[in-house]
Structure 1
């Protein structure tokens, strides 16, 4: 019998489901809620994911930015701990929504923003994810360059045929291509398969970095960084402190919005996701200390403080040590580029074009865009653009606030999963846009815009207008929260209020099967509420999903 080859299809697969019925424009197989059999992330996978995500060069360099503004290393460690305590609460709460409904961030955003309004947070995040994927791939190229140079020292001295105006040479371009190719197989994998990458990274990279820390502490008695006094005082000290907090929070502002992209694959109770609150500050603070200690040791040994870890290990005379240290940073760059960038971009592109893009295609498209953006030019000549990308957190703070308070305060954990896939359902709002979210978002962003513009072009002087920007994420988060709560109090979206939450497992159970496997309502009832009580009906609440052919309703739920 001859082999049968499946003809490639331009459109992605969308099997028949209650979520796609009559509204295929808004979903596909990868956007549908994750069925129970595909929820494979347990507690160990979640811990490995965060350890993996934390161990990257950016975390290593957190201390550098704080020391650069005139604070001490002790204050640097404290700022990192406080910043991650704050952002970890937001990450845990927004991530828990993914555990409840097993849907990604772009779908959850429809409840608070409306179907067309959700494009505001989706486009905001996809821009950030694609550009940072490109830049992190460039950083990965530097790790490859370090590793090859350790094996083949003359490699760095090969002739260059690329004009200097291009911002890159033959050697670095070749290393960029190598790291890009290494990423491709992982970009084609499903997130359930990627958890093993995070587990491997969470073992290899921490051990390597602890070894580097051992070198720093074991070979260096003292250094002037550990005796450093703060060089700023008074109001300048306060603004430096707030600015540093914003900078640290900004590095993980994306995950405070899109954690549901990963938590949707969780098979454990939502309570486990609140372990992030003590876990993240501890891990990130420790890694930041490693960076400070190792930079201090480098200053003592080589007469120059190298905050870039690749530049630091390039000073080592031991070539095997340089290679394996470079390998650990390459693995660190690979893991964080997938967890924080490519999968985020894929979910967003999938939500924008669900008929043609799935998770695999979305990640591969992100990789293609990587070349189109020529990140070596960005790094070489566009410092103002990098400031823009770093400052983008002022937009993500308000987005995180709207999603968090809409779910926990406005709707009291009562979303209808089926309605999140129906543009004519209870989350349609007027014209597909929740104007309350848009107004609150604009109010939260507006105070930081003068300082934001100044960070891009320092020639534009804004005077005291720079100060709101210095704590833009916190200001935007709080201001948006107050405005959004006030608007929904005086102009409540009563059509979105339902007597109780409708979880995806109820829909699957009502259909009588999950991917061909028979199930019953009883078999999913324990998972539906995730161990949390169902609230009483709130005043003005309406029935779930009016106008929708609800599988839950057909089951008498």
Structure 2
């Protein structure tokens, strides 16, 4: 890992924030990579099957998954239709996450490097930057969720905070107290910018232990307050084509919920002990995310019965409660975003992307790298104005659906390229060499570029975009094969630049298991 050196006597100088990375062991030029981007060494492959189980349990019990279900209810879907759409959406995204996750577990390289085999050495930066832009949007959403937690905690300790004079117009969809809470949390989260992905699995375990009981307690509250029957007997408020479109919108929003993770899941699975440890995601994701959705549906429906309106944001629902200090404080802590894997992986991705641009010590890029993370936090935190996105349920669902327009084609190309075009064989050392076999045409795999530039402008729902991009990329790769990018077996690249016997045997065993 690079050394983050802070000179507290000169905090205002760029020199004080320099990040000096260790050089890459595979890149022929230090401008193109650093040790953080190298294949994960065996001693760092410590993520077990239980690590991925805790990751997804902790991530399932989060506010975004809750709001996805509750927002669909507030738009008029019945609980059965909503739950069906969410379950199908998460089954589909689990297939994509697992397919891309196994790639990372086999090759042990991060997403920004892995993508070079599919998109070309230089065009891969387009996909990385696209993911970074969307990461800033997600950073903003999670920051706002964190600010709601801060608001509830401050109000639990200091009740008068709820009556803080408001000097912001109602059309802004945020109050002075809300904006102050947002600023406080925005500052609190900065230490998490320095968290490395391989070190956050313990936070997943903590959240997987703490949060599910709180969600279950809220579900019990919903059934106890309403008797259960009224919750399950509320019919759909819309019919016909409106119901069909709402159902499809909900399913597509479920896909968008983890479209980000489906693309850069190799950043996590690169630390897997064995590829088979990551396959559990295929089962865990649909089960726990659908269960969380049911909790969100039940509590939101209870809110409609008790308070006369659908309150799809759980923290706004908490605000309706009796506001006992310990009660509100514990509920807010349980929803605290720094324990959200999506929050942490967004920060980790921003950190990793900035390191792509690092150069030799003495060049200006090391200082700019750390500052780039701060710039991303400023843009993501303030320019995007997440309180506008989360002001209404339809805005939240549209935001979630919009993710898939860009990320679905990227995920489709990655999966088709590795499993169908390259048949699981990649030259790993060549991923670090701009003049290597993954240069394609001036650093661009035009087949992947065509798949993206045809599908993204269409703006179609994620599943359709995924299928079109996958078919288009497979057809062009079959009709116009990139023979220079093909190898007969995976080249892992040890000291003498040859595949090790141990890795080759392991790869052959994995292929037999897959068959």
Matched-pair contact (CA < 8 Å) for 1:223–1:296: no
SS at match of 1:315: coil
Offset of residue 6 of structure 1:
9.5
User: Could you tell me how far apart the structure 2 residues matched to 1:326 and 1:360 are?
Assistant: 31
Select 2:255's aligned residue among 238, 245, 249.
Answer: 249
Structural mapping, 1:326-405, within 5 Å: 326-330=332-336, 332=337, 334-353=339-358, 356=365, 363-373=373-383, 375=385, 378-379=388-389, 387=398, 390-405=401-416
Q: Does 1:102 align with 2:108?
A: yes
Q: Could you tell me the TM-score, scaled by structure 2's length?
A: 0.87
Bigger relative CO (Cα 8 Å, ≥ 6 apart): 2
Offset of residue 119 of structure 1:
2.0
Matched-pair contact (CA < 8 Å) for 2:46–2:271: yes
The gaps in structure 1 that reach 5 residues or longer are 450-468, 513-519, 536-557
Q: Could you tell me the TM-score, scaled by structure 1's length?
A: 0.81
Select 1:240's aligned residue among 229, 243, 246.
Answer: 246
Q: Does 1:499 align with 2:488?
A: yes
User: Could you tell me how far apart the structure 1 residues matched to 2:122 and 2:229 are?
Assistant: 56
The gaps in structure 2 that reach 5 residues or longer are 8-14
Select 1:437's aligned residue among 448, 458, 462.
Answer: 448
Equivalent residue number for residue 428 of structure 1: 439
User: Could you tell me how far apart the structure 1 residues matched to 2:382 and 2:75 are?
Assistant: 35
Equivalent residue number for residue 542 of structure 1: none
Matched-pair contact (CA < 8 Å) for 1:98–1:261: yes
Offset of residue 272 of structure 1:
1.9
Matched-pair contact (CA < 8 Å) for 1:220–1:297: yes
SS at match of 1:392: helix
Structural mapping, 1:171-210, within 5 Å: 171-210=177-216
SS at match of 2:95: helix
Matched-pair contact (CA < 8 Å) for 1:125–1:254: yes
Computing the radius of gyration from Cα coordinates, the structure with the larger value is 1
Select 1:482's aligned residue among 466, 471, 489.
Answer: 471
Offset of residue 346 of structure 1:
2.5
- Distance 1:18-1:329 versus aligned 2 partners, 3 A rule: closer
User: Could you tell me how far apart the structure 2 residues matched to 1:60 and 1:109 are?
Assistant: 32
Matched-pair contact (CA < 8 Å) for 1:436–1:487: yes
Matched-pair contact (CA < 8 Å) for 1:129–1:340: no
Equivalent residue number for residue 19 of structure 1: 26
Offset of residue 323 of structure 1:
1.4
Residues 237-288 of structure 1: CA distance to partner in whole angstroms, max 9, x if unpaired? Answer: 443332221121112111111101111122x211121111111000000001
Q: Does 1:296 align with 2:301?
A: yes
- Distance 1:237-1:378 versus aligned 2 partners, 3 A rule: closer
Aligned residues: 496
- Distance 1:15-1:158 versus aligned 2 partners, 3 A rule: closer
Equivalent residue number for residue 531 of structure 1: 510
Matched-pair contact (CA < 8 Å) for 2:148–2:178: yes
Residues 403-446 of structure 1: CA distance to partner in whole angstroms, max 9, x if unpaired? Answer: 00100000000011100000000000111111111111223234
- Distance 1:309-1:279 versus aligned 2 partners, 3 A rule: same
Offset of residue 162 of structure 1:
6.1
Select 2:327's aligned residue among 289, 298, 321.
Answer: 321
- Distance 1:376-1:426 versus aligned 2 partners, 3 A rule: closer
User: Could you tell me how far apart the structure 2 residues matched to 1:40 and 1:152 are?
Assistant: 44
Residues 284-342 of structure 1: CA distance to partner in whole angstroms, max 9, x if unpaired? Answer: 00001111111222233333332110111112213321111111112x46424533421
SS at match of 1:281: helix
Offset of residue 229 of structure 1:
2.9
Matched-pair contact (CA < 8 Å) for 1:346–1:366: no
Matched-pair contact (CA < 8 Å) for 2:111–2:267: yes
Larger CA deviation: 223-232 vs 481-490: 223-232
Residues 510-554 of structure 1: CA distance to partner in whole angstroms, max 9, x if unpaired? Answer: 489xxxxxxx9566566566733599xxxxxxxxxxxxxxxxxxx
Residues 324-382 of structure 1: CA distance to partner in whole angstroms, max 9, x if unpaired? Answer: 1111112x464245334212223333335566369977655533434452636745899
SS at match of 1:27: coil
Matched-pair contact (CA < 8 Å) for 2:140–2:381: yes
Offset of residue 107 of structure 1:
0.8
User: Could you tell me how far apart the structure 2 residues matched to 1:126 and 1:491 are?
Assistant: 31
CA RMSD in angstroms comes to 3.1
- Distance 1:89-1:361 versus aligned 2 partners, 3 A rule: farther
Matched-pair contact (CA < 8 Å) for 2:79–2:297: yes
SS at match of 1:26: coil
- Distance 1:352-1:479 versus aligned 2 partners, 3 A rule: farther
User: Could you tell me how far apart the structure 2 residues matched to 1:439 and 1:109 are?
Assistant: 16
User: Could you tell me how far apart the structure 1 residues matched to 2:465 and 2:177 are?
Assistant: 43
User: Could you tell me how far apart the structure 1 residues matched to 2:383 and 2:106 are?
Assistant: 37
Larger CA deviation: 414-423 vs 25-34: 25-34
User: Could you tell me how far apart the structure 2 residues matched to 1:85 and 1:205 are?
Assistant: 23
Equivalent residue number for residue 546 of structure 1: none
User: Could you tell me how far apart the structure 2 residues matched to 1:314 and 1:381 are?
Assistant: 16
Larger CA deviation: 171-180 vs 228-237: 228-237
- Distance 1:89-1:366 versus aligned 2 partners, 3 A rule: same
User: Could you tell me how far apart the structure 2 residues matched to 1:166 and 1:59 are?
Assistant: 25
Q: Does 1:312 align with 2:317?
A: yes
Matched-pair contact (CA < 8 Å) for 1:270–1:530: no
